[in-house]
Amino acid sequence: MLLHIPGLFNREEVLRIREALEKTDWADGKITAGYQSAKAKHNLQLPEAHPLAKEIGTAMLERLWSNPRFMSAALPHKVFPPLINCYREGGSFGFHIDNAVRQPRGSVERVRTDLSSTLFFSDPEDYDGGELEIQDTYGMQRVKLAAGDLVLYPGTSLHRVNPVTRGARYAAFFWTQSLVREDSQRALLFEMDNAIQQLTADVPEHPSLLQLTGTYHNLLRRWVEV
d(CA 21, CA 82): 15
For 184, other C-beta atoms within 10 Å of its C-beta total: 11
Average pLDDT, the chain: 94
pTM beyond 0.85: the answer is yes
Residue ranges for the known binding site for 2-oxoglutarate are 169
Residue pair 100/110 in contact (Cβ under 8 Å)? The answer is no
CA 209/CA 196 separation, integer angstroms: 7
Q: Residue positions in the annotated binding site for Fe cation?
A: 96, 98, 159
Residue range(s) in the chain whose domain bears CATH number 2.60.120.620:
3-178
Rounded Cα–Cα distance for residues 77 and 177 (Å): 6
DSSP code of residue 49: T
CATH class of domain segment(s) 183-223:
few secondary structures
- pLDDT at position 44 is 95
Nearest to 53 by CA among 225, 170, 162: 170
pLDDT bracket for residue 11 (50, 70, 90)? very high
Dist. CA 89–CA 129, nearest whole Å: 9
Q: CATH 4.10.860 occupies which residues in the chain?
A: 183-223
Cα separation, 224 vs 218, in Å, equals 10
Position 140 scores a pLDDT of 93
- The answer to whether residues 141 and 1 touch, using CB atoms and an 8 Å cutoff, is no
| pLDDT at residue 37 is higher than 70 | no
User: Residue ranges for the binding site?
Assistant: 96, 98, 159, 169
- In this model, does residue 54 exceed pLDDT 70? yes
Q: What is the pLDDT of residue 138?
A: 76
Please state the rounded mean pLDDT for residues 144-154. Answer: 98
The CATH-assigned architecture of domain 3-178 is: Sandwich (2.60)
Q: Where residue 137 falls among pLDDT bands split at 50, 70, 90?
A: confident
Which 3 state secondary structure label does DSSP give 160? strand
Rg, C-alpha atoms of the chain: 18
- Indicate whether 196 pLDDT > 90: yes
How far from chain centre, in Å, is Cα 172? 8
Query: What is the rounded average pLDDT of the residues 18-22?
Result: 97
